[in-house]
Structure 1
């Protein structure tokens, strides 16, 4: 079986999936948005972020599985408009196999780029069929495709989940979620060539200002889907960068941390949350400490 798993589980458990995927962010973008670090450090910053999440968030008393992620660079070429497609396809296949073997009723995922939600959300879509909705909390819509300008796979996650992704990779998925059951929350930054897909595919979106004082518009949308189960994705760049740079990009005027927390808590009160993903954490201070201590006596490197 790919990856490592602890605490072997029975049917219907709550799986914690650790997926330190970094190849989904385009190499050029990583270098441009984190120029203070050597490129190889900047590109792999999401692996450090995944480790930090596991260290600072509450421990899990159920099964924990880790998707194997290579740290080397083979397979970084662009194919079909997707950078590092071969290595990302392998990781997607491995993650789906882990989930099939565990057969969980709930999945919490720590990543990695936004693409780490594709395998758990589509697996739960197969389990719950028409009874699963998705709330995607992110500054960006993540609706790129191989035909849009940006080749980074992390910007294609919603496309994959809604059945509009790369055909070869999509064939691996056990199910998809119709676009009318997906809400983009906190959306306020995009490229025009991808943004057109939001309306064309029938996605619902909420800007930060629409949810500043109340979660009710989102709760009303959720009720309109008729779904009793929900998957929540959080890209930490949805949090206003003026509070602190949590993501690779520093994007101002997003939701505040308190607003994100309030939205998640009220969603939990309104429905059965069966999946949560925390993604795109890029811990600059931790990476800086690593650089300071690189080659330090008795530490190594």
Structure 2
């Protein structure tokens, strides 16, 4: 088959966060994304119609690994130069960013726009969406790192929007000397991210955008904005503080300094659309016949 420079991957994976909402969130995100002529690659995902089990420290390990391998095969088939990923939980960026790292080598970097660093392993947390950046650096469970042939060095990673990391995350970031930037620094247009790109000669960049980096009072389609849930449930968990404009400005700024070869958007949780969809399915004349 002919090889395309850019492909768009739609991967409604939900198992990494053990949250079926991510499945519909990815499908709606794919509908919202502006259409173009790039090939769209749909990665098959097990339907969110069952409960997951903890399999050696990872919820739904078998399904996660099978989907990861399917994504890897699809990418190898297309041999893209650039990749857009529409997810799904954060783990959807593992195979695509691993491919880009192998393709572009030592001058490839990752800008991780996320409230959380996603550098944990099964020893700390059973939800593998929190393992993905660590795996891309070569750390963590071998079922995840198996697709990472060119681990990304710590100096080529910047976490943007980090807020209230836990004790383990603080220790890991310090030990590996991974740079990060707070929401307040981004909003004040700090030069730190620009300096990071220049100092490390990042000529090719992949951007991971977890929508939970956004302020959930201003953008409601994120996990923390779930209706009818006591906000105290999320006490002690870092929550986003950025706006859509903050993220747009950040991406436009780095686009002037380096070549963006990957963008992954993850963890879209459109609560109002989901609740309306569920209600419509229960009404007369709307239900499946």
- TM-score of the superposed pair, with normalisation by structure 1: 0.87
Confirm or deny that 1:123 pairs with 2:108. no
**Partner of residue 184, structure 2:** 209
**Partner of residue 25, structure 1:** 17
Which residue, 144, 150, 175 being the options, matches 2:150? 175
**Partner of residue 264, structure 2:** 277
CA distance in 2, matches of 1:243, 1:178: 35
Measure how far apart 1:174 and its partner are.
Answer: 3.1
Mapping for residues 234-245 of structure 1, pairs under 5 Å: 234-245=209-220
Measure how far apart 1:253 and its partner are.
Answer: 5.6
After TM superposition, the runs of 4+ consecutive aligned structure 1 residues lying more than 4 A away are: 72-75, 250-253
CA distance in 1, matches of 2:71, 2:128: 16
Confirm or deny that 1:109 pairs with 2:85. yes
- TM-score of the superposed pair, with normalisation by structure 2: 0.90
Confirm or deny that 1:153 pairs with 2:140. no
**Partner of residue 89, structure 1:** 65
CA distance in 1, matches of 2:134, 2:128: 10
Measure how far apart 1:176 and its partner are.
Answer: 1.9
Mapping for residues 43-62 of structure 1, pairs under 5 Å: 43-62=19-38
Measure how far apart 1:48 and its partner are.
Answer: 1.2
Measure how far apart 1:143 and its partner are.
Answer: 1.0
Measure how far apart 1:79 and its partner are.
Answer: 2.5
Per-residue CA deviations over 1:57-82 (Å, capped at 9, x if unaligned) read: 21021111011001156682223321
**Partner of residue 30, structure 1:** none
SS at match of 2:170: helix
**Partner of residue 264, structure 1:** 251
SS at match of 1:133: strand
Unaligned runs of 5+ in 2: 226-237
CA RMSD of aligned residues (A): 1.7
Per-residue CA deviations over 1:106-164 (Å, capped at 9, x if unaligned) read: 0000000111111110001111111210000001111111111x210111111111111
Unaligned runs of 5+ in 1: 1-7, 27-42
**Partner of residue 138, structure 1:** 114
